[in-house]
Amino acid sequence: MSRVLYSVSLACARHVRLTFLAWALALCALAMAAVQTGFDNYTDSLRVPGAESQDASDALAEEFPALDKGEAVVVVRDPDGPIPDDPDAVEAIRSTVAELEAFSLVDSVEDPVTSQGRAGTASDDLSTIIVSVRYEVGFDELTAAQFTSLEEMIEPLREAGLEAEIGGPLAAFEAGNVSGGAAEMIGIGAALVILFLAFGSVVASGVPVVTAVVGIVSGILLVTVASGFVDFPNVSKIVAIMLGLGTGIDYALFVLVRYRQELAGGADRVRAAAQATATSGHAVVFAGSTVVASMLGLYFTGVPTLAMMGAAASLTVATAVVAAVTLLPAILAALGPKVNRWRLGRREPGAEPPAGRGGWGRWIGRVDRRPWTFAALGTLLLVVVALPVLSLRLGLPDDGTKEPGTSARESYDMITEEFAVGLNGPLLAVVRGPGAEAVAEDLAAAAEDLGSVEGAAPPQVNEAGDAAVVAVVATTGPGDQRTADLVHELRGEVVPGVEAGHPGAEILVGGHTATLIDLSDTVSARLAVFILAVVAISIVLLAAMFRSVLLPLKAAVLNLLSVGAAYGVIVAVFQWGWGAGLLDLQPGLPVVSYVPLFLFAILFGLSMDYEVFLMSRVREEYRGPGDSHRALVAGVSSTARVITSAALIMICVFLAFVPNPEVAVKMIAVGLATAVLLDVTVIRMLLVPAAMSILGDRAWWWPFGGRRAAPAEPAPAAERAADGSLTH
């Protein structure tokens, strides 16, 4: 791999203009393809194959095609009183309904103000109505464009003095619309500050950011083009940008640090770029490949939504890696020594204490002398932080947890205040078989006898009379655990009882709320298997790279500790409510069902960045004199600054996405930032040195072909003298 990287990067460094031209042409081609595809093809459809809710959805599509179409809910409230008593309000509603009906994708509009109205969509005091907008296409074909169009069409209602908000599943696209570019700009700004403080050079601090931005733009354009052929969840774009930005800057940083070392050692600009890519780039490719493999592993969860989220993130990480090993060498070769221009202070690059000396060297030496003590302290700290995970409760927060002021939250609150909280996500029971109407009526009666049911609507029956739909409204919100308990009670007790009284009848409990509950159950059932698979794959990959049995096992155990601690922080913040006020969230939220699984896939890949970068250096030190303790002190101390700077950049990038109104994005951002913080402090600077000291020479034991460290590209002798020169 190192030889391949050396050849590729050498070609890019020798042909700078050609490399720049190739990247420019690729970006132009992707941009044109993305324009043709459209930038708002992201959907918020959700399928859980094999779940009862999915069977109910398929049955609904077969028996009631009209009801299976995408639907948006617009909640309208007149603050001055009953809507029928306000002529201006009535006229505004009629005008808006007419405009909606004329919209190309809208099939029908139902509201209680016109003759098309239906019962149950007006509040008791007639001050609030629910307008149902049914589209001609299924929900999986709706995109953020429909949310934007609907927002524009209901604006006249607001101008008339009415409160009008979009609710239901379509409101999920609001998170993508309001995200803007603020998070990305904050993350880039923080990265520039950290890089400038680390390198002390304006030019050097800008190089990783430029490389990362090109990689991200390429990745997002690829995702956009692909969205014209496959369905990417709306939130996947935000997560892909967050992950791509953090990894892209880090990957470029690793290569840049090595490049400065090569220059300080006397290498010419072209050879220095190639050598830096062959060494640090090897770790970048390995780490990036692990992230991509972990993300693509989400396919095996059997949930298409998670699989496509992983695919989107994989594309941005992959393009970040490609940019780091092709575009970056060309940039570095073009700059040469000018990469150190506009320095802060007079200190020359490379003027660092020899590896093993300085503050980091003294600290690692202290850990090396008392490894068992520091190992116990570090392990105890992570275990304590991880303890909240014992009360982990998975679920999917409803719109009542969104930030105040968002359309989803406002519509949710109006429905709760004027109707019933359960109406925000009613359950839909599909009945098939002879005498479907009678079966549905018995089901509705049985459901209404439950204390957790607010009510059940009269059944809707198809023309053949062999299928019916019953809407059941719970007394609790869609994200409440008691609603999940109700779904399980209906399926486990009520439905079997009704079916027993009607031989040949089939009843399926579904609806969007039931789908979310089934997603949580599916993820819970497959989380342990997924974790074991990712851990096993990472152990095999690390063993192949380092030719060691114990190093991969050590890495797996420590990574599990850091991920567990990140889970603990998420539970404490979001579920227990510690610091929830700072995030403008209500306490007691369930952890979004797919977040632990998604986080694990990301974190186990990200942890490879630092593991590979650190252990590669330790291995280089070890393969000479074969002194494991000297190699540990020299290797860890010489990489401490670059790992710390890289981690600080990632943490700032991830935290920049915390203000996003989507709860899942907040959880992912907090979890990633926490895990990286713990990884770079407790893991890399405490537990790894302690574990390596305890293992000693046994760390490099390899029974397949002898005890030896894995081969690597030889580094120039001058590099040793410049080792550790991250700062100016």
Give yes or no for residue 119 having a pLDDT over 50. no
Give domain 69-167's CATH architecture: 2-Layer Sandwich (3.30)
Q: How many CA atoms lie within 13 A of 348 on its CB side?
A: 8
Answer for the pair 499, 506: CB distance below 8 angstroms, yes or no: yes
Nearest of 367, 363, 383 to residue 375 by alpha carbon: 367
DSSP conformation class of 128: E
The pairing of beta strand 467-474 with beta strand 427-432: antiparallel
C-alpha distance from residue 327 to each of 33, 223, 281, 662 (Å): 22, 20, 12, 34
Average pLDDT along the chain: 85
Element (H, E) at 472: strand 467-474
Nearest of 229, 219, 179, 218 to residue 36 by alpha carbon: 229
User: What's the confidence (pLDDT) of residue 326?
Assistant: 96
User: What's the confidence (pLDDT) of residue 713?
Assistant: 43
Provide the residue type at 308 as one letter: M
Nearest of 675, 687, 614 to residue 650 by alpha carbon: 675
For every residue of 7-25, DSSP letters joined together read: HHHHHHHH-HHHHHHHHHH
For every residue of 533-586, DSSP letters joined together read: HHHHHHHHHHHHHHT-SHHHHHHHHHHHHHHHHHHHHHIIIIIS-TTGGGGT--
b/e map 50-62, b = 16+ CB within 10 Å: ebbbbbbbebbee
**1-37+182-349 matches 69-167 in fold:** no
For every residue of 206-238, DSSP letters joined together read: HHHHHHHHHHHHHHHHHHHHHTTTSPPBHHHHH
DSSP conformation class of 696: G
DSSP conformation class of 79: T
In angstroms, the CA 121 to CA 457 distance is 12
Can you name the residues that pair with 44 across neighbouring β-strands? none
Nearest of 415, 461, 420 to residue 441 by alpha carbon: 461
Q: What angle do CA 385, 612, 657 make, to 5 degrees?
A: 50
Fold assignment, 352-394+524-710:
Multidrug efflux transporter AcrB transmembrane fold (1.20.1640)
Give yes or no for residue 295 having a pLDDT over 50. yes
Confidence of residue 405 (pLDDT cuts 50, 70, 90): confident
Give yes or no for residue 680 having a pLDDT over 80. yes
Confidence of residue 626 (pLDDT cuts 50, 70, 90): low
Backbone φ and ψ for 564, nearest 5 degrees, come out as -60, -40
For every residue of 592-650, DSSP letters joined together read: ETTHHHHHHHHHHHHHHHHHHHHHHHHHHHHTTT--HHHHHHHHHHHHHHHHHHHHHHH
> What pTM was computed for the model?
0.82
In angstroms, the CA 470 to CA 293 distance is 43
Q: Which of 185-189, 197-201, 374-378 has the lowest mean pLDDT?
A: 197-201
Q: What percent of the chain has pLDDT over 90?
A: 39
Confidence of residue 705 (pLDDT cuts 50, 70, 90): low
Instruction: Tell me the per-residue pLDDT of 419-457, one tens digit each, with 9 for 90 and over.
Output: 999 999 899 999 999 999 999 999 999 999 999 999 998
Element (H, E) at 473: strand 467-474
Instruction: Give the right CATH number for 1-37+182-349 from 3.40.1280.10, 3.40.50.150, 1.20.1640.10, 3.30.390.50.
Output: 1.20.1640.10
Q: Where are the beta strands (DSSP E) in 357-433?
A: 394-395, 427-432
In angstroms, the CA 436 to CA 157 distance is 41
User: What's the confidence (pLDDT) of residue 625?
Assistant: 64
Three-class SS state of 166 = strand
Answer for the pair 256, 207: CB distance below 8 angstroms, yes or no: yes
Neighbours of 501 (CB within 10 A): 11
Confidence of residue 8 (pLDDT cuts 50, 70, 90): very high
Interval 629-646 mean pLDDT: 82
The domain spans of the chain are 1-37+182-349, 69-167, 352-394+524-710, 426-510
Paired tokens of 662: 């989507």
The alpha carbons of the chain give a radius of gyration, in whole angstroms, of: 29
Which CATH class name applies to 426-510?
alpha beta
Instruction: Tell me the per-residue pLDDT of 508-534, one tens digit each, with 9 for 90 and over.
Output: 999 989 998 999 899 888 888 888 888
User: What's the confidence (pLDDT) of residue 628?
Assistant: 78
